[in-house]
Structure 1
């Protein structure tokens, strides 16, 4: 809002007392209007040059950014991080080993951002021996 006020004051400074000066001829008013238009056109050109310079800087920074992304190791676009392979679960009869296996699977799914629908199928792939036989017998 303050910027608008400043611009209005600036414009009023250009225009002078046009509205209050009834003695001016039409030609004088036209000349003044043309002068104001020329000043506005000059400011437009200055603004265009300034914006062009800033765009050149931004274009240069964009090129540098693209090069940095292209050469970055691991790739920024990778949606899933590399996660170490889990150990299979099968012959253990210990509840502690089962708890550890399930805990590892939960963290694997969290880090790899695996959806709920895929979690059961992936978990079954990590079962072996008796555990896999049990699942086949239940299913």
Structure 2
């Protein structure tokens, strides 16, 4: 089963680094998240730092969802690339599921508006994870 959406990529580690090299430039922002050992606080702080979340950002999922779906403080030509790494032994935990759900919803929002490049890039390892597929399928990502 493949999960496809124009702004969601499943790449090997080598392909991820090649993507970064091929798309380097001032108009790209990259947020790297290693989900197997990242806490909720670590994830939220990382996004706040690299995407310059505004002063009113609170360290909670609701505030994260609001900010990731807004991004008006970034210049319009800035491409947002969120790269999610997993270990082979990683499992999607509750916090990771909330995080991924918010990202999937934001991805669909940005894809439908076509106003900003917003890419989710995942380690290929996660592509066959049953929890990930269930989460993605529940949110209507096309399947083939």
Q: What TM-score, normalized to structure 2?
A: 0.25
Structure that is richer in strand per residue: 2
Which structure has the highest helix share of the two? 1
Q: Work out which structure has the larger RCO, using CA pairs closer than 8 Å and 6 or more positions apart in sequence.
A: 2
Tell which structure's C-alpha radius of gyration is larger: 1
Q: TM-score, normalised by structure 1?
A: 0.25
